[in-house]
Each structure stands twice: as C-alpha cells, then as structure tokens.
Structure 1
Amino acid sequence: MMSCPKLRNPNVFGVIFLVVLLGSIGVKVAEGRVTRGNDQHEYPAINCRKHIAYLTDFGAVGDGKTSNTKAFEYAIRNLSQYANDGGALLVVPPGKWLTGSFNLTSHFTLFLQNHAVILGSQDESEWPSFPALPSYGKGRDATDGRFSSLIFGTNLTDVVITGFNGTIDGQGSYWWNKFHKDELKLTRPYLIEIMFSNQIQISNLTLINSPSWFVHPIYSSDIIIHGLNIIAPIDSPNTDGINPDSCTNVKIEDCQITSGDDCVAIKSGWDDYGIKFGMPSQHIVIRRLKCISPDSAMIALGSEMSGGIKDVRIEDLTAINTQSAVRIKTAVGRGAYVKDIFVRGMNLQTMKYVFWMTGSYGSHPDPNFNPKALPNITGINYSNVIAENVTYSARLDGISNDPFTDICISNVTIHTVGKKLQWNCTDIQGVTSNVVPKPCELLPEKEEKFSCPFPDDKLPIESVELKTCYFRSVSYF
C-alpha cells in the first residue's frame, strides 16, 4: 500500500510543526523523519521552491525492479497544489527508480541527487499514446501517433529538471530493436519533452540511452539547457541530443554529447504541416558544446524547418570524430527559411565535412508535398575554424532555381587527408576570406581580409540570472 506523502518548508524545522501544518491539509508525515541541519545542498535554478518532498514519501522503491510510475504521478499531483504558494521541489534520492512516462506540473523542480537513476520502463503499457505533433502531421517512426516521452509536460510555466549529476536512463535498446525490426506502430518515446510551455531549465544531469531524441522542447520559450552529459551508442537510431523545435529564446551551454544522430538539431515542423503551423525556432544561443557523432552533425539546422529558423548564434564548439560541424538540411517542399545564422570558433578533429549544406534532404511526411514550397537559405556565417584530419572541406549543395545565398566563411584553416576535390559547390552564392584550402569559385575570396559578422547584442535569455537555492537532506530514526 502506498504511503502518504510528507512535505516540508525548508525554512521550518521540527516534526511537530510539520504534523500540524500538513495535517491541516489532510497529508500525514511518517514518524521519525527529521532534517539534518548541517547537510544543506545548494543548486542554481531559475526559481527556488518553498516546499520540498522526497520521492520515497510517496511509496517509491529504488530497487530498479519495482515500477514507480504511480509514485511519480502521485507525488507530482500532490505537489501541484503548491504552485501558487512558492512552488515545490521533488527530490529523487540515490537508488534506481524504474518508471514509465509521467507528467510534470508548473512552478516545480524535479531534482536528482548524486547516484539517483531514473530508469525508463520497457513495459509499453506504462507509456501513454498521443496523436502526432501538429507541426509534423505524422509520426516519424510510424503514422499512428506517438508514445509520450519519459518525462513530459505541456502548458506549463516555470519548470526545472536538474540535480547533482543524477542520471536518467531511457533503456533504449528495447525500442531500438523494435525500430530495426520495423515492429513499431507508434513513434518511439523521447526522454524529456516539454511543449507549449515557458521558463524551462534542464541542467546538470547525465542522460543515457534514450529510445529516440533526448531533450525536445517544442512550441516553447525562455529555455535554459546547461551542463548535460548525453550518451548513446554511436550506432543507435535517431538519438539526437538536444532538439529545440519551434522554440524562442533558448540558451544551450556547456553540454557534452555522444550520440547516434545529430548532437543538436534545431527544427520547426515538417513540410505543409510546419508551414501551416507557422511557429519558427528563433533567438537561440549555443556555446561550449562538445560532440562525438561519426554519422551525423554536431549541430543541424533542419531538416524539418518548415516554420523557419532564424537568429541562431553558435560559438566555441568542439567536435571529435563527427561527420560534419554545423550543417543545414532542407529540401523542396519544406518552404520557410534558414537565415541569420552566426557561427564562430570551431575546433574540429577527424571530420568527413567541415561545411555541409544539403538542399535535397528528401524525407517527407507525405509523397504529395508541394514542389513550389522552396526554402530560403540566406545569411549563413562561419568564422574562426581550425580543423584537423578532414576528408572533405565542404559539400555545399543548394537547390536548382533556389540557390543558397549570402554565405560568408572567414579565418578557416583545414588540414585535409588525401588529394581529393576539397570543395564541391552547386547552387550557392557567397564570399570567403583567409580560408585554406582555397574555396570553390562560387565562394570567391575578397582581396581585403575581413571577418564574417557575429551579433554584438545579447538575447533576452542571456540576461536571465539563476538564483542560488537550498534544501536540506532528511533522515529517519
């Protein structure tokens, strides 16, 4: 039988006061629970919380075998009543906490302590099904909708998912095997998905083995993603690291990603569905990203970009054994635009391509896509790049009668292997400065050296300062 929850205000200590306080709202406190006054934990967050509870207060068992789906649901449902009273913090203590999909609430923090592991269930009955996303129209793996993500939220405000490097393990091999065998009737779950929400922080965690994409904020704004260590086998299918999708005002910093797909992919909907939905991804800053992905990009723009992508600022990147650096992927039928993209400071080691743009990325939700929906790719800027052990410097393929324009590349040194044709360019237009080896004729080098532009102003998300928050550990006697 599930035990009753216990909740605390961290500024109030003493079992007697807690019993009176929580008893007044019909919630009981287990006998013998006390705070350890010297064991205070500090963490940064967009907002601190007045109330605190532990997952074990709601009957959870951290043995890696017992399902805790109902315990997570029960905990968050109870804590949601404090949304307008300073919010609530749910602490996941050390242990292995098996669970299916569960939903978050507003003004809420999910905190994973060190050695806490949330394990994704491999029982499909613990994963609710949803219709396809409106800007996609159809599921990516299957047409009959999609599974909910492991950690999910919609129409929320002020949500924090953080910890002391706790782990969220999607146990993705079950789903990867079904994908490879073409046994899926619904699109695989993501690890974390927040939609139609604002004020989101996801930070200081290790995420491993997602069934598909790891972190997917969509139709949301004011997002901080910081200090994530994301790991999946390099041959795992579609395990993108961080995918802001039709999102505005996003900051991604200090993340390390090893995956079987793009480390970061900025998206905004798929063909006619994305065009109709019409919500761009914009005002995004990405800094200090480290990536390993032998078959994909460090950062991809697209290919689903039919709501548009603009004003993306990317700097201080490191890629090792990765197929390409910052890649643009689009196709006839996508419509919309990718514009005002600024990249500076890339240190690349063992790459197939340094620069790669694709105008024929031919994955479509419907075969009857609109051939007149041509994307506008313009204002793409790269500067200050050092690359070692490179197979090809660039493959830049625009679209016939729809060239990619205003491409700027400056201050680039690429050390290549072999004597292959280094620059392969079609249907593009732009300029270069101080680039070795010599670029293609469609990117002439100006006599007077210059640096490609990078904005001087700050995005609103860069001015958000995290607060220093505290909570105290508890013990039982």
Structure 2
Amino acid sequence: MSHKNMMKSPVFENSYVIGVISVLLIFGSLAECKEPSSSKLKNFDYPAINCRKHSAVLTDFGGVGDGKTLNTKAFNSAITNLSQYANDGGAQLIVPPGKWLTGSFNLTSHFTLFLQKDSVILASQDESEWPQFPVLPSYGSGRNASDGRFSSLVFGTNLTDVIITGNNGTIDGQGSYWWDKFHKGQMKITRPYMIEIMYSDQIQISNLTLINSPSWFVHPVYSSNIIINGLTILAPVDIPNTDGIDPDSCTNVRIEDNYIVSGDDCIAIKSGWDEYGIKFGKPSQQIIIRRLTCISPKSAMVALGSEMSGGIQDVRVEDVTAIKTESAVRIKTAIGRGAYVKDIFVKGMNLDTMKYVFWMTGSYKSHPDNGFDPNALPKISEINYRDVTAKNVTIAGKLDGISNDPFTGICVSNATIEMSAHKKKLPWNCTDVSGVTSNVSPTPCELLAEKEKFECPFPTDKLTIENVQFKTCNFKSSVIR
C-alpha cells in the first residue's frame, strides 16, 4: 500500500503502530545475518548525481555485520583508503546486508556511501565513540546545551561531491540512550545528529530509511547544491528535537518525495541564532520542497525558523501532505532574531487533523544567551499560500506579528478548511499582520482583506538545482579494488 493510500485509511493509526512493530522485528532479525564476502555481492544500478570509478565493500576493511562488533575503525579505514581516488574518478563504499555497529565517522570528497537492502548502520551508544565539537559559529551555543555538541554519526566538512544513498538500507541512531539523558537533564552538550554535512557542495542523500536519531536527522549546514529525496524518516512522536530535514544556511536545495514521522518539525529551514546568526550572515535560500508526507502531532510540517538570523528567502513548497500534525507551513521568529523571512511560496497542501493551518508567531522566545539585540527585529514579508484543503481543524489561522514590526504581504487564496467539532469559537486570530485573501473559508480575520478572483503567486521559473539530472551508476563485484 502506498503512503498516500495508507494515510487515507480509517485504521491508519493502528496500521502505523503495527508497521512500526514489524519494522522493529525485522531490524531485530538482522542481528543474525552473516555478512557476505565481496565476491558474493550481486551487480546493481542506482541513480546518483555522479558515478564512481572505484569500489570497495566494508568487509574488505575488516567490517563485521553481527550487530555487536564495533566497526568504527573499519569505516574510517575504508574511507581513508578510498579518499586517494578522489582525483581519479572517485570511489564508492558498499555496506552489505548485516547490522554494522559503529561510532561517528567522517566522509570524503567524490565519494558514495551505499547501503544495500537489509543493511543497517547501527549507532553506538558508547559516548567515547562520538567526538565532541565546538558550537556552530552561527549559533554561538549548543542547541540543547551551551557547552558544545557531539559529532553526528555520519559527518563531513569541506567536501565536494558526496553521496549517501542505498537500496532502502537503514541507519538506526539508537537514540533512546540520548533521549533518556535529555529527559533527565543530564546532557551537558548537544545530542548528536544522524547526518551532518558542513561547508560542502554537491550533496545527495537519498533512498534510505533513517530511524531513531538522537536529535536532528539530516542537517546540511553552510552548504550548497543539495538533493535530499526518497527518505523514510521515523522517530517517536513524543521525543523533542527529532527534526527530519533541517537545511541550515544553505543555498540551492531540492527536497522531494520524503516521508517523515517526527516528534518535532518534519522539515525546518534555519540560518543561525540571534546575534551569532546575524554576524555570520549566511541565509538559506533557493529551496524547493515537493511531495512530502508528514506526521508530527506536536510540531510543523515545514517550519521557517525559529533560528533565522541569517535570513530565509525564496522557499517553494508544493504538493505536500500532513496528517495529525500540529501545523502546516509555520513561521517562527522573535525580537532579537533580526534578518528576514521573505518570498515564501506554498501551493497545494492537503491537511488532515491539524491544530493550525496557518500559524505565524513573533514571540518564539528561545535565545542562545542574553546578548541578543532587542532592536534586531525580523522582517517577515511576501508569504504566499494557495490551493489548500484541510479537514478536522481546530484553528484555521493564528497570525501574530510583532508590535511596531508587523508581518506584511501575507496572501492566502483558494483555501477550504473544515473545522472540527472541537474548533475554537473564532477560527482566525490575527494581530500585527497585513495582507489579502481570496476564496478562503472560513472567512479570515479583517487584517487580511478579501480580494475577489485573485490567486496568490507561485514562481514559474526553475531553481538551478531542479535542472540537475541523476545518472545511472553501478556496482560490479568483478571490479572491486
């Protein structure tokens, strides 16, 4: 059954629980798998932005896929060895079926990490396997704790042309260890992310299942020319900060055909935090999100912010679905953030069981420290939504700008919202905002003036990243070297 069809089923919740249990049973059975020798691997093709001349298999470097043997040295040895081919057609590392326990490891340029079907990269729960990093310069503080942060499980910095893909192989972050410490207030530095790529160009992350990250799942930061597609991301819906995909101070990003269940935002676009983000000054821009399905009862399908102090501009969201999600495309900002969120275009939202359809706030008051500038007011403008269908909704719109700093240029057209039996008395609540609406039901607040036969804009041009075509790449067991 497809995700969309499953979403429409009246027994979706029970089916989802059963599905998760089945997934866990399958993962458990992998512990008994024996890793094949490289000579037994079958040839296969896969789509990628670039293909590789050289190939190797993790077992060639001593990898053991029994779910118990630590493979950190095997991963690092393999990637170090394969890095010598960066200027000779690049290299790909194949992770075969099995359960490959590992700590954090670093990628290299002109490199592909490929997870075969039934392969599981299993994150170690030993903290000594996770190097500690300084805080990000655009944040000035750890996201959950001020002193620093752990490396991500799969990490890369200053890379060109890096691919993480597979035939629906799995990365399991084994996040429960970290979630327990976080809930007990025992985290002195920020929890690890699953995948983080920094200061890099030409990134592909695709066709994988990612589960149980300690914190954010996919975090490209200070990077450009990024394609993230075909991911299934699963986290418990009651664990905070398990964001699915968070492009952060990134340019030219394509996020397509992903399915995310999260305890936080399914996708969050960010660009630095208060005075640190303002000083770093690197926006997130030219981002397109298409064909996303999101389940997040406590957060947003797509969030803009709250860390947006480098600016967010030219974000295009199209043909997206949210079920049992707190809000749709949400804007989160605050005094002290500075910068802007502008030129946001949303077309085609299908929403079922939502607290909010339209939600913007200027009082999202988390700060890295007390050094933020109270005169650094964010500018929120040219926010466009059109072609929206929503049902079982508690609040149609809650739009709260900032006094003396209103959110302007808000446009909503062709939106039909069916309110739930538990709806608020007033479906819309607006302060310090201005804009227009057309063909919206229920009737919006007076600050959004009605305009007949009007359609909110959506760009007709293509972003550069949309023109990138995948090549058909291959692995041939006879040419392993």
TM-score between both structures, scaled by the size of structure 1: 0.91
Out of 446, 449, 456, which is 1:452 matched to? Answer: 456
Kindly indicate whether residue 315 of structure 2 is the aligned counterpart of residue 312 of structure 1: yes
Q: Which amino acid aligns with 1:281?
A: S
Question: What is the CA-CA distance between 1:474 and the residue it aligns to?
Answer: 6.5
Q: Is the Cα–Cα contact under 8 Å of residues 35 and 472 in structure 1 kept in the other structure?
A: no
The Cα shift of 1:444 comes to: 1.3
Cα deviations by residue, 1:112-139 (Å, 9 ceiling, x for unpaired): 0000000110000000000000000000
Q: CA deviation at 1:475?
A: 12
Aligned length: 442
CA contact (8 A) 1:34 1:475 kept: no
How far apart in 1 are the matches of 2:377 and 2:149?
Answer: 28
- The reply on whether 1:303 has 2:315 as its aligned counterpart is no
RMSD: 1.3
SS at match of 1:371: coil
- The answer to whether residue 391 in structure 2 is matched with residue 384 in structure 1 is no
Cα deviation digits, residues 12-37 of structure 1 (max 9, x gap): xxxxxxxxxxxxxxxxxxxx96477x
Q: In 2, are the aligned partners of 1:41 and 1:473 still within 8 Å (CA)?
A: no
What pairs with 1:383-422 in structure 2 (closer than 5 Å)? 383-418=386-421, 420-422=425-427
Give the 5 Å matches for 1:3-152.
Answer: 34=39, 39-152=42-155
Aligned residue in 1 for 2:471: 467
Q: Name the SS for the 2:466 alignment partner.
A: helix
CA distance in 2, matches of 1:376, 1:219: 22
Take 2:84 and 2:168, find their aligned partners in 1: how far apart are those partners?
28
- CA deviations over 1:411-444 (Å, ceiling 9, x no partner): 0000002452100000000000000000000001
For 2:180, what is the secondary structure of its paired residue?
Answer: helix
Distance 2:385 2:412 in 1: 5
Contact 1:410–1:434 at 8 Å: present in 2 too?
Answer: yes
**Letter in structure 2 aligned against 1:435:** V
Q: Return the alpha-carbon distance in structure 2 between the equivalents of residues 72 and 227 of structure 1.
A: 24
Contact map agreement 2:356 2:397 (CA 8 A) in 1: yes
2:452 is the counterpart of 1:443: no
Mapping for residues 250-399 of structure 1, pairs under 5 Å: 250-399=253-402
- What is the identity, as a one-letter code, of the residue corresponding to 2:427? Q
Shift of 1:185: 1.3
* CA distance in structure 2 between the aligned counterparts of 1:144 and 1:433, rounded to whole angstroms: 49
Which secondary structure does the structure 2 equivalent of 1:61 belong to?
A: coil
TM-score norm. by structure 2 comes to 0.91
Distance 2:316 2:145 in 1: 34
Determine what percentage of the aligned residue pairs are the same residue.
76
Residue ranges of structure 2 left out of the alignment (5+ in a row): 1-36
- Alpha-carbon separation, structure 2, partners of 1:33 and 1:210: 29
Shift of 1:369: 1.5
C-alpha distance in 2 between matches for 1:465 and 1:421: 48
1:338-394 residue CA offsets vs partner (Å, 9 max, x unmatched)? 000000000000000000001000000012321000000000000000001000101
d(CA) in 1 for partners of 2:449 and 2:131?
54
- The answer as to whether partners of 2:38 and 2:477 remain within 8 angstroms in 1 is no
**How far apart are the structure 2 equivalents of 1:244 and 1:383?**
24
- Larger mean CA deviation between 39-48 and 349-358 belongs to 39-48
Q: For each residue in 1:240-271, what CA deviation from the matched residue of structure 2 results, as whole angstroms up to 9, or x when unmatched?
A: 00000000000000000000000000000000
Structure 2 counterpart of 1:186, from 184, 189, 201: 189
1:21 corresponds in structure 2 to none
Bigger share in helix: 2
- Aligned residue identity for 1:458: K
* Whole-angstrom CA distance in 1 between matches of 2:349 and 2:60: 47
Distance in 1, Cα, partners of 2:471 & 2:265: 32
**Is the partner of 2:120 in helix, strand or coil?**
strand
1:9 counterpart residue number: none
Question: Does the 8 Å contact 1:33/1:474 carry over to 2?
Answer: no
Note if contact 2:38-2:59 (Cα within 8 Å) is conserved in structure 1: no
State the secondary structure of the residue aligned to 1:74: helix
Q: Residue 12 of structure 1 corresponds to which residue in structure 2?
A: none
